[in-house]
Structure 1
Amino acid sequence: MIATPQATDRSGTKVARLAWLDALRGIGAMAVVAEHALPWLMPSLRPYWFSLGMYGVLVFFLVSGYIIPASLENRGDVGAFWISRVFRLYPLYLLVIAAVLVMAWPRT
C-alpha cells in the first residue's frame, strides 16, 4: 500500500491529501510539456486532432477549482490563505523574472 502524504489543518489534525488529484495535476502538466516539446523533438507523434496543451490547462483549472475552495474551508481564514499563496508562489516568480532579465541582458 502506498502511503499518502499528510497535511495539517488549522486545528493541527492530520488531513490526508487526495493522491488522485496530484496524479491528475501531473497528467495535465505532462500534457502541456508534451504540447510544447513534441513539435521539436518528435513532430510525427504530435496529435493534430487533439490539443494536449488545451487538455492540460483545462485539467489544471478544474483541479484548482476543486482544491482552492477545499483549502479555504480547511484553513478557515481567507487572508491567511492568500498570504500563504503569495509567499508560496511569488519567490519562484521573482526568481524566474530575474533569470529572464539576466539572459536578456544585451551582450556587446
Structure 2
Amino acid sequence: MIDLATLSEEALDTLITTRLALAGVDLAQLPEVADPATGVPTRAAALESLRAFLVQTVPQLNAWEPPVASPEAAQQAAAPLLYPSIATAWAPGSEGSVA
C-alpha cells in the first residue's frame, strides 16, 4: 500500500484530478480567483482540501477494524468488500463451485 503522506503535492494532485476525471468531475471548471459573492472555492483551495483529506483521513479510515473478539466475528462485522472473497468460489451454489 502506498503511504499517501510520502507523495509529493504534484503526485497527489495527479491522483486527485485523475480520480475526479474518472467520476466526471473537472476541477478546471473552478475559478482561479476567489469570488466572495458566490463562495465557490478556487481550484487551488479545492486541491489543498482534497490533499489534506487524502493524507489525513483516508489512512485512518483504511486502518479501521471492527471491535470484535475473534477473527470469525470480525469477518461477519467487517464492511463488505468491493470484490468477493476468494472463498466464495468454494461455497456451495456459487458459480464455479468445486463441490
- Normalised by the length of structure 2, the TM-score is 0.28
Structure (1/2) with the larger strand percentage? 1
Larger radius of gyration: 2
The higher-RCO structure (CA 8 Å, 6+ apart) is: 1
Structure (1/2) with the larger helix percentage? 1
- Normalised by the length of structure 1, the TM-score is 0.26
